[in-house]
Structure formats: structure tokens, C-alpha cells
């Protein structure tokens, strides 16, 4: 099963690219940490808004391979290793056939292929969370404290990668207590488990309190970013559209990313298991809790824009129930019709990721740009990569300096700087008037402007046709680049 899961990821690994902000930021921060290894204790100590563990792993990988590849190799290893806890969890809950089917679903899950071939943290987080849940299910079955300890270890590691893992320990304990699935475990064991899961969160909050005076400083920063993003949905109809996404985004993404047949079998299996096997309901609660939390934030409070990567663990857990859905279909319609449904689901599971990948692989346009976040073929916009190649071949060798526009919606400046061969601090970003001091001091030779970016909103910047005036200096637009990227060279 590990070989089957590895095959499509190894095929795409040489061609895929780090996509969007998180993958690129984590690769750069991991490289910076490796240049100055130390114990990261807080937001301002080199982690930024991220948990430190993933940065350690990416940083260590940069000691052996280039930074563009390092984080993707870490994700690939964790993506393939996810087979182990997924199979064990599904086998324990529903038998070995469920384990095989779940792993086959993982192999062709296009979104997880993207996770496994980019430097973002989802692949690592899914592996750690499924490892924790597999160990916890073993503890429920056997009552062994050893399994409970391992579950706490895996959860602490997951919490050190992504903050959304912090919600799982109390939800997990409450679910098994309320459902009555804890027959093999005492309340004292469950209390000890939750306390053990607090090890990293407490250390991290202490570190942030000592450095920033606020134990939840990273949470405040991240929530502020999401609130600002949600606030861009201004106006009545745009706000209605945002709140409707809270209701429809999650089921639609399940149908699109897992593909309709796999998702339908899974949903049928979840409903059947909830009715038939009370002691397994805790895993369904674990699957549903994050989805309901983020849906409430979007629909009721309007302060969160839904993103598919926030439901990665929930989607992975849906694979556990696909075999149960097949079992129910066989009972309802007979083995012959059920086999036909399985064949149709298998064809869709293979065809949809291939079609999405083909549409987005090194293609720009309205359709590719919309579906790119869920594509197994994670390539950046060609206009951005063309400008990045120019920066790498012309700007960097000539040490001419570069002003890069910013766009808080598309973050296209991040891949441009990353693949252009610049360190983050080497690119001048004019976000506020105070940043113009760097422009005056360093006299950059080139400017990159993005359609919809913030550069032209600055008082010191004027755009007139193909000429850009930056703090009194004229820059002329160069040919050979396409929207939304425009490159300018300082006039002699």
C-alpha cells in the first residue's frame, strides 16, 4: 500500500512547485533556522505564526537538498508513511478490507498528492493526527496505558505543527465519555491523557508570554489575518456569499477532492456506523468537530474564509468509512449493483484528479486559477514563474535591487521572490510610506507590479501608461511579461 501511495506522488514530485504562501514561507523559515539552529520558544523567535516542529524538519532537510526541494521531501515521506496509521485505524474499526480501501482512496486523493509534494504542513499534520487517533483507538480497545501515552506523544507533535490540532484532545476525551466508548479506560486515564496533551501548548504559551506578554499571541495574529480577509467580503451580497460558503463549502469540497463516488460511499458509511456501532461514534465526532467549528465561524460570525486545507484531517478520516458505505450498498441493492457502483466510483476517483491536474498544470486562466488550490499538479501561474526566471537571471546577478508589489488576496509576490532566488529580506515591499526609505537608500533597478496589488495605492507611486513613478524616479515597463505581473526597469 505504501508503494501504491508513493507512485503518483513520485511521478509528480519533479514537476510540482511550492504553491501559495504557507509552503514558501515555511521553506524560507526552515532554511533560516538551519543557518542559526536554536530552540524556538515563541512567535518572535523564528516561528512566526507557525508551530516550530515543521520548521525544524524542513530546516534539517535543507542541510541535504536545496530549499525548494527540502520541504517537499519532508511532505513526501510523511504522505507515504500516512498509510501506516490510516490502515491500522481503519482495520481496527472496520476490518482489514476497510484498511485496504482507505489506503487506495489515499493513493488517488488529489489534494493529498498536492500536500505530499509541496512544503506546506498538511501532509505532516495528517500523518501525526492519524497516528494519534490510531494509538487512541488501540487504547480504547485494549485499555493499555502505553497506547494512551503514545496517543498523547503523537498529539503533542501534531500540536507543534498546526494550531488546529489543539482542539482535538478535549474533544476526543469528551466524545468517548459522552458516547460511552471508554469501557476499557478509566476517567483518571482519560484525564491524564488530556493533561499530557497540554505539554506543548503550555510550553508554547509560556514562551509567547515571556516574549510578547500574551500567551495566545500567535492565535491573535492568525485570527486577525482571517478577520481582515473576511472583511474584504464587504457589501451585502458579498457578505451573504461568504456566509453561504460556511454551509456549502465543506460538503462540496468533500465531493470534489475525494471525488463524488468515494465521498458518497463514505457519507453512507458514516451514517450507518453512527446508527449501528455506538462505540465507534467518537471518531465521527472527531471528523465533524473541526468542520462544524469553521462553518460556524464563517456562517454565524463571518470572520473566517473557509479553506480546504483546514479540513484535511476530516477528509482523511472519511476514507475510513468508505468500506462501510460499500457494505451498506451491497445490503441495499445486492452485490452486482454494488460492484457497478464501486467501478463507477473507482473511475471517478482516478479520472477527476487527472482532469483537474491536466487543467492546472502550467496553465493560467480563470478556470485553472479557481481549481488550482485542490489540484494534485501544484504549479504556480506561468506569468509569475516567467517574472521569477527574469529576476533570477538578470536582477540577482546584477545586484540591481527589486521592489516587489504585494497582494494580500493572491500572495503572488511570495513565489516570485522565492523562485527568483531572493531571500525574503532582499525584496523591497512598499506597504507603507516608511518603506520608501529603503527605496531611496538602495535605489533598486527594477519594480514588479501586480494587478490589484497595493503598490499603486501609495501616495509616492504614480502609474501613467507604461511608466511608473516611484518616489520621483521613473521606471519603464518591459515587454515579454503578462498580466497580472508587470516588470519595470529604472530609467537611465
pLDDT (tens digit per residue) in 220-230: 999 998 998 89
Looking at the domain assignment, is residue 371 inside a domain?
Answer: no
Does 300 share its domain with 404? no
- pLDDT at res. 335: 86
- pLDDT at res. 309: 86
Reported as a pLDDT band with limits 50, 70 and 90, residue 486 is very high
Q: How far is Cα of residue 354 from the mean position of the Cα atoms in its chain?
A: 21
Reported as a pLDDT band with limits 50, 70 and 90, residue 406 is confident
Q: Is 170 helix (H, G, I), strand (E, B) or coil?
A: helix
Reported as a pLDDT band with limits 50, 70 and 90, residue 201 is very high
- pLDDT at res. 220: 93
Per-position DSSP letters for 40-68, written without gaps between them: --SGGGTTTTS-HHHHHHHHHHTTTS-HH
Q: How do beta strands 446-450 and 402-404 pair? A: parallel
Does 286 share its domain with 389? no
- pLDDT at res. 215: 96
Q: Is 296 helix (H, G, I), strand (E, B) or coil?
A: helix
Looking at the domain assignment, is residue 351 inside a domain?
Answer: yes
Copy the grid coordinates of residue 470. Answer: 516611484
**pLDDT over 90 at 489, yes or no:** yes
d(CA 191, CA 188): 5
**pLDDT over 80 at 375, yes or no:** yes
Does 73 share its domain with 218? yes
- pLDDT at res. 432: 64
Give the pLDDT mean for 264-283: 93
Give the pLDDT mean for 60-79: 95
Outline where 361-487 has alpha helix (H): 366-371, 382-390, 396-398, 413-419, 436-442
Looking at the domain assignment, is residue 369 inside a domain?
Answer: no
Does 139 share its domain with 21? yes
Reported as a pLDDT band with limits 50, 70 and 90, residue 424 is low
Looking at the domain assignment, is residue 364 inside a domain?
Answer: no
Reported as a pLDDT band with limits 50, 70 and 90, residue 398 is confident
Looking at the domain assignment, is residue 261 inside a domain?
Answer: yes
d(CA 474, CA 293): 50
Question: By mean pLDDT, which of 146-150, 245-249, 409-413 is the weakest?
Answer: 409-413
Does 307 share its domain with 433? no
- pLDDT at res. 473: 87
Phi, psi of 32 (to 5 degrees): -65, -40
Does 415 share its domain with 348? no
- pLDDT at res. 21: 63
Reported as a pLDDT band with limits 50, 70 and 90, residue 57 is very high
Pick the more confident residue, 436 or 170: 170
- pLDDT at res. 425: 65
Per-residue pLDDT reduced to its tens digit, 173-197:
888 888 876 778 888 888 999 999 9
Looking at the domain assignment, is residue 134 inside a domain?
Answer: yes
- pLDDT at res. 188: 87
Domains in the chain, number: 2
For residues 222 and 49, is the Cβ–Cβ distance under 8 A? yes
Q: Record the pTM.
A: 0.93
**pLDDT over 90 at 423, yes or no:** no
The residue range of the domain holding 116 is 2-357
- pLDDT at res. 84: 98
Looking at the domain assignment, is residue 375 inside a domain?
Answer: no
Question: By mean pLDDT, which of 12-26, 78-92, 352-366 is the weakest?
Answer: 12-26
Per-residue pLDDT reduced to its tens digit, 114-146:
999 999 999 999 999 999 999 999 999 888 889
Copy the grid coordinates of residue 2. Answer: 505504501
Does 315 share its domain with 459? no
Does 344 share its domain with 474? no
- pLDDT at res. 408: 75
DSSP state of 373: G
Looking at the domain assignment, is residue 370 inside a domain?
Answer: no
- pLDDT at res. 477: 93
Does 99 share its domain with 149? yes
Which of 357, 374, 395 is the last residue before a domain boundary? Answer: 357
Reported as a pLDDT band with limits 50, 70 and 90, residue 427 is confident
Does 310 share its domain with 395? no
Does 283 share its domain with 159? yes
Reported as a pLDDT band with limits 50, 70 and 90, residue 214 is very high
* pLDDT averaged over every residue in the chain: 91
- pLDDT at res. 434: 63
d(CA 300, CA 146): 41
Per-residue pLDDT reduced to its tens digit, 446-475:
999 999 888 888 888 899 999 999 888 899
Does 214 share its domain with 286? yes
Give the pLDDT mean for 75-82: 97
Instruction: Give the residue carrying C-alpha cell 489534494.
Output: 111
Copy the grid coordinates of residue 448. Answer: 514588479
Which of 357, 372, 391 is the last residue before a domain boundary? Answer: 357
**pLDDT over 80 at 396, yes or no:** yes
- pLDDT at res. 365: 87
Omega of the bond prior to 484 within 30 degrees of 0, cis?
Answer: yes
Pick the more confident residue, 62 or 430: 62
Amino acid at each position: 500500500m505504501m508503494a501504491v501511495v508513493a507512485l503518483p506522488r513520485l511521478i509528480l514530485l519533479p514537476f510540482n512547485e511550492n504553491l501559495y504562501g504557507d509552503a514558501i514561507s515555511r521553506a524560507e523559515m526552515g532554511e533560516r533556522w538551519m543557518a542559526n539552529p536554536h530552540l524556538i520558544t515563541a512567535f518572535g523567535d523564528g516561528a512566526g505564526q507557525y508551530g516550530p516542529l515543521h520548521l525544524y524538519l524542513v530546516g534539517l532537510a535543507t542541510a541535504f537538498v536545496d530549499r525548494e526541494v527540502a520541504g517537499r521531501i519532508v511532505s513526501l515521506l510523511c504522505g507515504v508513511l500516512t498509510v501506516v496509521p490510516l490502515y491500522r485505524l481503519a482495520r481496527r474499526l472496520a476490518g482489514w478490507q476497510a484498511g485496504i480501501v482507505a489506503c487506495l482512496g489515499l493513493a488517488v486523493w488529489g489534494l493529498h498528492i498536492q500536500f505530499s509534494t509541496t512544503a506546506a504542513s498538511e501532509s505532516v499534520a495528517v500523518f501525526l493526527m492519524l497516528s494519534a487517533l490510531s494509538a487512541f483507538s488501540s487504547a480504547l480497545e485494549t485499555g493499555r496505558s502505553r497506547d494512551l501515552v503514545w496517543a498523547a506523544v503523537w498529539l503533542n507533535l501534531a500540536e507543534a505543527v498546526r494550531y488546529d490540532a489543539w482542539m482535538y484532545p478535549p474533544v476526543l476525551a469528551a466524545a468517548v465519555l459522552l458516547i460511552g466508548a471508554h469501557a476499557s479506560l478509566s476517567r483518571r486515564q482519560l484525564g491524564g491523557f488530556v493533561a499530557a496533551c497540554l505539554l506543548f501548548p503550555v510550553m508554547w504559551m509560556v514562551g509567547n508570554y515571556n516574549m510578547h506578554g500574551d500567551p495566545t499571541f500567535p492565535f491573535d495574529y492568525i485570527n486577525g489575518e482571517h478577520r481582515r480577509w473576511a472583511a474584504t467580503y464587504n457589501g451585502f451580497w458579498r457578505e451573504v456569499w461568504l456566509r453561504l460558503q460556511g454551509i456549502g463549502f465543506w460538503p462540496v469540497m468533500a465531493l470534489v477532492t475525494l471525488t463524488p463516488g468515494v465521498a458518497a460511499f463514505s457519507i453512507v458509511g458514516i451514517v450507518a456506523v453512527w446508527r449501528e456501532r455506538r462505540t465507534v461514534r467518537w471518531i465521527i465526532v472527531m471528523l465533524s468537530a473541526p468542520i462544524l467549528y469553521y462553518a460556524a465561524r464563517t456562517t454565524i460570525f463571518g470572520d473566517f474564509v473557509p479553506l480546504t486545507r483546514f479540513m484535511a484531517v476530516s477528509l482523511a478520516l472519511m476514507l475510513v468509512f468508505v468500506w462501510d458505505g460499500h457494505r451498506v450498498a451491497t445490503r441495499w441493492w445486492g452485490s452486482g449493483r454494488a460492484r457497478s457502483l464501486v467501478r463507477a466510483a473507482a473511475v471517478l476517483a482516478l479520472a477527476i484528479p487527472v482532469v483537474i491536474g491536466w487543467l492546472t498544470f502550467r496553465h493560467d486562466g480563470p478556470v485553472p486559477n479557481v481549481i488550482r488550490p485542490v489540484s494534485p499538479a501544484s504549479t504556480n501561474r506561468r506569468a509569475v514563474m516567467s517574472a521569477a526566471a527574469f529576476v533570477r537571471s538578470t536582477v540577482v546577478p546584477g545586484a540591481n535591487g527589486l521592489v516587489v508589489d504585494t497582494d494580500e488576496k493572491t500572495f503572488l509576490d511570495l513565489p516570485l521572490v522565492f523562485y527568483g532566488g531572493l531571500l525574503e529580506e532582499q525584496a523591497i515591499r512598499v506597504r507603507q510610506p516608511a518603506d520608501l526609505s529603503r527605496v531611496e537608500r538602495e535605489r533598486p533597478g527594477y519594480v514588479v507590479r501586480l494587478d490589484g496589488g497595493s503598490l499603486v495605492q501609495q501616495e509616492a507611486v504614480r502609474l501613467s501608461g507604461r511608466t511608473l513613478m516611484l518616489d520621483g524616479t521613473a521606471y519603464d515597463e518591459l515587454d515579454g511579461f503578462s498580466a497580472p505581473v508587470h516588470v519595470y526597469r529604472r530609467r537611465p
